[in-house]
Chain A
Amino acid sequence: MKSAVPIATVILAILAAWYVAAALMNAPLQRDLYANAGRTDYSTQDLIVDSLNMERPKLPGPHQVVGELWRLVFATAPTSKRSLVYHGLITLEETLIGFLIGAGLGIGLAVLIVAVRWLERSLMPWIVASQMVPIIALAPMIVVILYQFDITGVAPKAAIAAYLSFFPITVGMVKGFRSPDPLQLDLMRTYSATPLQTFLKLRAPASAPFFFASMKIGAAAAVVGAVVAEVTKSEDGGLGARLLAGSYYGQTVQIWAALFAAAALSAALVGIIGLIGRAAEQRMGFIP
């Protein structure tokens, strides 16, 4: 494992920077706590140790976040409303539904754009514009609009997840469908293949590496969309709701735990797609 050393070095550097930052940020708060308690005989070591173990720090130490994650993932019943597994599954459901819709929409748009040349000019500006609106501003409106049509529950959140995930998929797949080189396309012309045949036998298989790359970005975007949607409408739970609740009560440790849970969910999805992609590309002969 040649890569183990650099990976470990980076992780250690991040942890060290995190501890330093946490100590520096929390120390003033801890000093106030000492002052309130009338304590003046603390050493620097006391200050550092206590700064890293506060109940409501500005920035919790890594071990606090890990401890909180452990408590809320493994030491709490998954049915409990405090469990991150409970909330994580809610987020996962919204993410997966939104991602599937986003992927379908994204690939569909890419096919249209590649098949009908003028659609690129007429559709692309709208597709790009759709992503320039801050999702945090748009999300409540999507929820409200869908509520008008009696669409509630998972659907509005999945819609927001889909909204964020279709864009990278469209862009990636347009590039993928256009990836065949001129010679490969000329070959199809010499067979006087129909556009459909050229698409099915050349453009679609050639786009496979782009497909899996697009899916990874789309899945990560879907998680972000689902979490943002949950912040907007927190009564149904989900990791986003935990973020909101944590910030409401100043529970920074809980916020960070929810944040890491969302990141882990995202990483897991990207990892699974990566594995499927690797297996598929190997089978298709793209990689040895």
Chain B
Amino acid sequence: MGVASTPSPVRDDVGKAPLNEVAIDIIGLSLRFDTRDGPVQALSNINLKVARGEFVSFIGPSGCGKTTLLRAVADLETPTSGAIRVNGMSPHEARAKRAYGYVFQAPALYPWRTVASNIALPLEIMGFDKTEREARVKKGLDLVNLGGFGNKFPWQLSGGMQQRASIARALSFDPDLLLMDEPFGALDEIVRDMLNQQLLTLWEVTGKTVLFVTHSIPEAVFLSTHILVMSPRPGRIFDVIECNFPRDRQLEFRETPEFMAIANRVRHGLRQGHSYDG
């Protein structure tokens, strides 16, 4: 269990686990975008190991590469150097094996499909038969409390309900790994609180490994087993904060001194990581 308090290249290992229990293993990962204004170092020498079943949050200011890191794990971006292993496979193999479900910032539901049919989309693509699809869609709808909304079109649902449907879609084919890129960023605080609570329950029930990108300190502290504070230019992991409270957290937990202490450390890390900006 390494904890990086300086931006030096140390291993940011998350969770104590034997080797076969490692969900994500990232070694010396760097990623540079060649833009019209010249190269941008999105990620610099990221070293990270995440044990199975952990809930790991990435928090940091815009441009710190947290979304890029998630996309690299999902094989949606190609690293410039370094290696990523997802359940022992390369990201490309992991994607081909449908090892992860991805939840985007926007629900990205297909507007011409009903909610049920949207949740069935990955199942159709992966060749599940009709009975199996129907069973899984029903289970998925219940899981995110959308039973009875299956026949609605996305525009008939609120933003929070749409994002819940997209979570059900990501879980429908039962991947071990859930990658979530600021899934609640566009929602108001009340809805966000409710979804945080639901996500926590979901995580407890399913035991998935979750990588979660967020801008919100309370959200990160409330949900995570580990919080990775990232800093920009170049994007790197600045601090790893353990957040090992019991899993059945209630919203009131956010008013406890323990919660405040962790939140303060995250806030401190964010400020420090950003300080050279002036």
Which A residues are closer than 8 A to B by beta carbons?
A: 181, 183-184, 186-193, 197, 201-202, 205-206, 208, 284-286, 288
B124 / chain A contacts, CB cutoff of 8 Å? 201
Verify B98–A191 contact, CB threshold 8 A. Answer: yes
Would A202 and B110 be within 8 Å (CB), given that A189-B76, A192-B98 are in contact?
Answer: yes
Verify B114–A190 contact, CB threshold 8 A. Answer: no
Within 8 A of A (CB), among B55-89: 74-76
Within 8 A of A (CB), among B95-154: 95-96, 98, 100-102, 104-106, 108, 110-114, 121-122, 124-126, 153-154
Partner of B125, one of A183, A197, A284, A285: A197
Task: Please give 20 more A-B residue pairs, beta carbons under 8 A apart, in addition to A191-B125, A285-B154, A288-B155.
Answer: A181-B108, A186-B104, A186-B108, A187-B104, A188-B125, A189-B95, A190-B95, A190-B102, A191-B121, A191-B126, A197-B125, A201-B124, A201-B125, A202-B110, A205-B110, A206-B110, A284-B111, A284-B112, A285-B113, A286-B111
B92 to chain A minimum Cβ distance, whole angstroms, is 9
A contact patch SS:
helix
B15 to chain A minimum Cβ distance, whole angstroms, is 24
A193 to B110, CA, bound (A): 15
B110 / chain A contacts, CB cutoff of 8 Å? 184, 201-202, 205-206
A189 to B74, CA, bound (A): 9
Verify A201–B121 contact, CB threshold 8 A. Answer: yes
B101 / chain A contacts, CB cutoff of 8 Å? 190
A273 to B93, CA, bound (A): 46
A288 / chain B contacts, CB cutoff of 8 Å? 155
Would A186 and B125 be within 8 Å (CB), given that A191-B98, A208-B112, A285-B153 are in contact?
Answer: no
Partner of A206, one of B112, B114, B121: B112
Q: Name the residue in B75, B95, B108, B114 with the highest tally of chain A Cβ atoms < 10 Å from its Cβ.
A: B108
A286 / chain B contacts, CB cutoff of 8 Å? 111-112
Verify B104–A183 contact, CB threshold 8 A. Answer: yes
A191 to chain B minimum Cβ distance, whole angstroms, is 5
25 contacts between A and B (CB under 8 A): A181-B108, A183-B104, A183-B108, A187-B108, A188-B125, A189-B95, A190-B74, A190-B76, A190-B95, A190-B100, A191-B98, A191-B122, A191-B125, A192-B98, A197-B125, A201-B121, A202-B110, A205-B110, A205-B112, A205-B113, A206-B110, A284-B111, A285-B155, A286-B112, A288-B155
A206 to chain B minimum Cβ distance, whole angstroms, is 7
Verify B102–A187 contact, CB threshold 8 A. Answer: yes
